[in-house]
Amino acid sequence: MSADATYNYAYLDEHTKRAIRRAILKAIAIPGYQVPFASREMPMPRGWGTGGVQVTAAIIGPDDVLKVIDQGADDTTNAVAIRGFFTRVAGVATTTRTVDATIIQTRHRVPETPLKAHQILVYQVPIPEPLRFLEPRETETRKLHALADYGTMHVKLYEDIAHFGEIATTYAYPVTVDGRYVMDPSPIPKFDNLKLNDCPALQVFGAGREKRIYAVPPHTRVISLDFDDHPFAPQRFTEPCALCGSTGVFLDEVILDDRGGRMFVCSDTDFCNGRQADGHRGCLAGNPIQDEEKRDA
Amino acid sequence: MYVAVKGGEAAIRNAHRLLAHQRRGDPLVPELSAAQIDGQLALAVDRVMTEGSLYDRGLAALAIKQARGDLVEAIFLVRAFRATLPRFGATEPLDTSAMTIRRRISATFKDLPGGQILGPTFDYTHRLIDGALEGFEPPAPASAEPCQDPVPRVTDLLGEQGLIEPSPADDGFEPGDLTREPLAFPIGRDLRLQALARGDEGFLLALGYSTQRGFARSHPFAGEIRLGEVEVELDVEELGFAVTLGTITVTECQMVNQFKGSAAAPPQFTRGYGLAFGHCERKAMAMALVDRALRARELGEDIAAPAQDEEFVIMHADNVEATGFVEHLKLPHYVDFQSELDLVRRLRAAWSADAIKEAAQ
């Protein structure tokens, strides 16, 4: 596939891509630190993944294979639109298979399939500042990071425990990176937080509207904030995926009717499809052996 | 030397003639018709109707033409016309669950009864200027038939399980109308929603945005945004039943916000509500964000940010009022300014005298 010749390769001009690469390198050198960058206007709305798109545009090469997911799914409208954008402006091959991708741009999920060393996971980040909801002013939060003053964050988590008996943060759950900076892992469910730690792949976070890039280099310690007597606990789902029967994965709730009917299916569509292709069946997917018996009878 | 500008009638007449001339633009280019504006600048028409609080496409289109595309000026024209209309009654509440759906999306559930209907939207278009647009005849749409079946509201689906606060019950009170009665703070949600519906899209957008960025923490989910046609009914006392006056296009947005519960209510989701004439998605969403932020007092939340300050928001949301007062600065202020001039001169003289005295010491 060839790129649209109307635009520079991967849309951005070479100077911009170089500036973004420098910000990414700095982010890798200081894990979890938010590096300011001069975010550009992209041909999609601010807050729809323009940070991730700029990071991807800065690092993508003609030999890359790009996967884009939104909420774990390859077929959601935003993922389809961004994939189409890079097909057009960079002419790269795209895939929905996690194992085949060299760059995976994601919104709000880490794939279920473990990542490998040659892969880069690019996150779209709406609000990079983990302290934003405790302190709305940027001037103050920069100071708190410089002083490594994360007391307010611990107080917030403690207040949750005092009110509800548990920490009431379910996504965008704050983490400490390499023992120094507290980082917002983007609005991934806290279920995915464990996948950030000691990950063989490079993880780069791009926030376009807020003009920040940060990163977790491969095999870096990423610890979710917690207390000795209230250790970090990811969500658990009681039932398996209704389509592929997986347990221990993140599930989406799908409403089936207006009488309270619902089912739970994998949010990672590639993982779920792969499992089904391997013959795994959930309770609502039909049983291939039974189906065959029915056909024979 | 400060010279008062004089001109009077002749100057005003000439200025308006110049304006009319410039409004027409190049006479070699065919004149725009209101029908063209209605059909091809439909979203501008929708905004003017919404903030002008008058559902009349033709009139809004004409106002846009007369205002040279200045939408706040067009809203002003529509509002001024609206003030001349008698009000002969209030319609029944719109039943948006019976809407003929053209667009309906939910960000809370991937799939749900009635499905996601993308409809006409800029979403997912790449914002690349299209040089080929002029003279371009678009191909027929894949499916333009609106969904005729009633589609349940997402908030009703959540409501069945008690996960979200119910819609407030009908308390029997006639909703207020701030165009007929003066506002006295604190105001009820009925008047607040009316003020927000008439409020400036840009102002509400900025306030809604501020709540997302941490000034009054609000990280809601777009429970549902729906666009379509609803019937407007009027209860006619003489007949004893409601008659349909016609259908109008509306955009409705229900935001689903976290709420940690209080002494009076268990933890549950709460709502912010937005409704606008025509296809006004940005407006309806911003309105829903601000509506929810303004419920802070009712829900026992701390009031710390501009978007939660009812008087601040409502008193400044109206662009016709804001424009008038800001632009009144163009009116002559000769007398007031003369008094200030005199004062500043006297203060300067006193200051100089002091400085000389100090230097001498």
Do residue A270 and residue A144 come from a single domain? no
Query: Among candidates B222, B231, B96, which has minimal Cα distance to B151?
Result: B96
Confidence of residue A1 (pLDDT cuts 50, 70, 90): low
Nearest to A255 among B112, B213, B214 (CB): B112
Considering the domain boundaries, does residue A2 fall inside one?
no
CA distance B303 to B297: 7
Do residue A18 and residue A111 come from a single domain? yes
Considering the domain boundaries, does residue A280 fall inside one?
yes
CA distance A186 to A47: 12
B195-211 pLDDT, tens digit per residue, is 999 999 999 999 999 99
Average of per-residue pLDDT values in chain B: 90
- Mean pLDDT value of segment A198-208: 97
Do residue A213 and residue A87 come from a single domain? yes
Do residue A261 and residue A126 come from a single domain? no
Considering the domain boundaries, does residue A152 fall inside one?
yes
At A54 the pLDDT is 97
At B144 the pLDDT is 62
Alpha-carbon distance A291 to nearest alpha carbon in chain B (angstroms): 26
What value of ipTM does the predicted structure carry?
0.72
Does the pLDDT at position B30 exceed 60? yes
At A202 the pLDDT is 98
Nearest to A78 among B109, B124, B128 (CB): B124
B91-124 pLDDT, tens digit per residue, is 999 999 999 999 999 998 888 888 899 999 999 8
CATH number at residue A93: 3.40.50.11310
Give the range among A159-173, B1-15, B267-281 with minimum mean pLDDT.
Answer: B1-15
Contact residues, chain B, for A260 at CB < 8 Å = 160-161
Considering the domain boundaries, does residue A273 fall inside one?
yes
B318-356 pLDDT, tens digit per residue, is 999 999 989 988 888 888 888 888 899 999 999 999 999
Instruction: Give the range of the structural domain holding residue A272, as residue numbers without chain letter.
Output: 251-294
Considering the domain boundaries, does residue A243 fall inside one?
no
- Mean pLDDT value of segment A112-126: 97
CA distance B86 to B188: 25
Q: Alpha-carbon dihedral of residues B149, B248, B271, B110, nearest 10 degrees?
A: 40
CA distance A145 to A183: 10
Q: Which of A171, A189, A224 is the last residue of a domain?
A: A224
Q: Do A44 and B305 touch (CB under 8 A)?
A: no
Nearest to A43 among B123, B126, B260 (CB): B126
Do residue A115 and residue A157 come from a single domain? yes
Domain total in chain A:
2
B250-260 pLDDT, tens digit per residue, is 999 999 998 77
CA distance B103 to B196: 23
Residues 6+ apart with CB under 8 A from A173: A185, A190, A193, A224, A225, A232
Average of per-residue pLDDT values in chain A: 92
Count of CA atoms in the C-beta half-sphere (13 A) of B158: 23
Confidence of residue B2 (pLDDT cuts 50, 70, 90): very low
Do residue A209 and residue A277 come from a single domain? no
User: What pTM value is reported for the model?
Assistant: 0.83
Do residue A161 and residue A274 come from a single domain? no
At B330 the pLDDT is 87
Check residue A290 and report its DSSP letter.
H
Considering the domain boundaries, does residue A99 fall inside one?
yes
| β-pair type (A222-224, A181-183) | unpaired
Q: Which residue of A has its CA nearest to B110?
A: A254
Contact residues, chain A, for B213 at CB < 8 Å = 127, 132, 136
Of the two residues B9 and B283, the one the predictor is more confident about is B283
H/E segment holding residue B275: strand B270-277
Does the pLDDT at position B23 exceed 70? yes
Q: Do B111 and A127 touch (CB under 8 A)?
A: no
Residues 6+ apart with CB under 8 A from B94: B230, B232, B250, B275
Do residue A282 and residue A219 come from a single domain? no
